[in-house]
Amino acid sequence: MAEKKVVVMITHPPFGSIYYTEGLRAAVGVTSGIDEHTVDVLLLGDGVYYALNNVDRKDSAKYIQTLTGINSSIYAEEESLKERGINSKELSPFVRVISRKEALRLLLDANHTIDF
């Protein structure tokens, strides 16, 4: 199988469900094996709450460490952040903010998208 570009979208907030941590785990899973797929994570809607710097990441820090270590990007959509009153100073350093238009381009350019 040729290398694929994959985007994992996370639209659920952290805690109260397994979506965000399973999404991050799946993103790591995409990169495993010999196919060398590339993966980026896109935080959308309530998923952007995960971008907050003070989020407890005991259960997911290892995924972030792995993803950033292999040059995967963790994006947060700017409009979703604004709609929830989150400013850029509150974000974790590993998060890259992109506009809705840029997020859409990311999805359209991907070979596959997976939503959590």
Partner 1 sequence: MALYLIDKPKGEIALKMASLDSEAVIVLIQDGVYLDPDAYGKFKEVYAIEHDVVRRGIKEKIKDRARIIDYHELVNIILKHEKIINFA
The site for partner 1 (CB under 8 A) is made up of 11, 44-45, 79-80, 100-101, 103-104, 107-108, 113-115
CB of 59 to partner 1, least distance (A): 22
Token output for 108: 């359209």
- Smaller CB distance to partner 1: residue 62 or 96? 96
- Smaller CB distance to partner 1: residue 62 or 100? 100
- Smaller CB distance to partner 1: residue 59 or 115? 115
Contacts 24+ apart (CB under 8 A), 25-34: 25/63, 26/114, 26/116, 27/63, 27/67, 27/72, 28/63, 28/66, 28/67, 30/6, 30/114, 31/66, 31/67, 31/70, 31/72
CB of 17 to partner 1, least distance (A): 11
CB of 106 to partner 1, least distance (A): 10
Give me the phi and psi of 35, to 5 degrees please. Answer: -80, -20
- Smaller CB distance to partner 1: residue 73 or 113? 113
